[in-house]
Structure 1
């Protein structure tokens, strides 16, 4: 199992305590988290994960420590990619801003349970069939290629999990704050919040098909795989609100993730060749190949992420797509009357819309897309301004 029973007990207890704390002290009372709150708690969760890694390093040795940090950084990077899909899901379902926290937390808890099952099943299969390293390696390489070929306009919010959830979970069309059930026509019915939670959790399981093989490519220590994966998911809710407005700017993230998955895929195949027992490869004998040490894997992963993030933040394309993406998203949120009934939140959205409209004037025309895209944006902004004018008149009338 990769660690002593005491280490497992302490790790699981810490994870459960953090989840309970997150629910009772932050999510249970519906509210819209501020940027300061999200930043503080995101930093705290990352700090806890790093501190746990140093404890692993001290008590488990250098090898376990390096494996933990390599796994944690890889899974954290992949979890940021999850946030793009979470954003699509929450926007697609028009989840009220104040209710998004609960949807995210329950979806994350669901995915932790599911990934834990994947981890133990994967570990058992790898122990029984070492040839699976070939399968995992090829799968990651194919996944890397799929990421590179992926169309940015693909609507990941309409995946099979979402369609099944909509089909088999009977729910009303209206939210009742962040409640899972409400009373409609005298009957107790489910709200769309239940579908959103299932969709987030189920979609994250699909992401696990990429992330679990990736971390097994860095370590086969089940304790390290479990803790690194779980700590990368803890704090994902806070990170979502912290990165609000920056996600669209990471335009080169998918290329970095593709490079990481491809690198780990090659590493897995090299390891499979080194441990080979398939009769049709080198007559069932081990193949003398160079294996990539974990510390080198850690360095490569960090370097790829630094280049990817810095390149995204400083590039003209990244800046342009940030403005365009945020302007569209905030406009749709402003027009959605169910998104928020909080005047402060409406004022925040309006300020962001005005700010991004000013920035829009500095963007090169080539980043605007086709003439149809420009026309759709103009129509959207016209609707927003008309809606704001009606809101201002209604506000003045009630004063």
Structure 2
């Protein structure tokens, strides 16, 4: 006689899928790769190639137990071909359906909900004009500014070893705002744009008014939506209305060559929720929370070219998730650009990061939330530090004096 269980399968942590709580005799047979879990939460050894492999009740709690099928996809149900329990005399009883304890579903939601969209990294060649655009046109402020004498271990400034700076600008702290990271390499004057970054969209009537007042080039794309370009050619879409949310930054749009493949990567492997799908326009909007900046993927039907201006999108997560993310990427043969590493900022907090690449090579940084919250505190001297650094930067004069053109990357 079949014992039917409630349907509905939800992820708990990466690699674990529980297939129902039930009582059973000492021997259970099923197909797949699985582990046994007792009511105390401990795990037995993995059992592989299970055409008819036993679970011994001496190794797990014999009263209330679950069977767990492992998978590396946090949002995709594994395929189960059979699940049965021994009922005596060599006979077996089929167990039907999937069951998920409500508290485990809540645990997964807490895990994904603890991830935050932080910033997008832009390489800038003209630091002074770039600062003017973000400050005077967009109306952002400098949150912090840092100078470095050598390249970053996680290539935050790109594949360059020399002196560089990092300036964080935004409408508020990264604890609850999506901001821009501006990286400036002292020896590089310009970068080649590709077709990878398609724009950042924000809601700000003030930004539109600022651009008009300063005679910054604006192009109306549709009713109340204007296109402005930052120095270097980066596109910003400005919605001419008041924002109803504390953070006016709505989304970052990236080009992808194969939309279904990219959506699977971001949603199934990285755990993002799909908020909107526009199949005719080949657009999908994803994110970790309703009140965060979203990631929009736009299928362009051709190879994505990152140029030399390629950026990086950053997210935070609890530090203990970093190695889990790295392990999952290895299992799925996905690209890891920088394995788990600690990064030091002089006089500030040390953070841990893992840098990935999606199927089209878009760089993705996951940083440990605990250290990053300390590192990302707003520096009240940020504006002053940036101004002093720009005033002290004589690189343009040096290149002109020696009749040398500043390098184009």
Normalised by the length of structure 1, the TM-score is 0.24
**More RCO (CA 8 Å, sep 6+):** 1
Q: Which has the higher strand share?
A: 2
Name the larger-Rg structure.
2
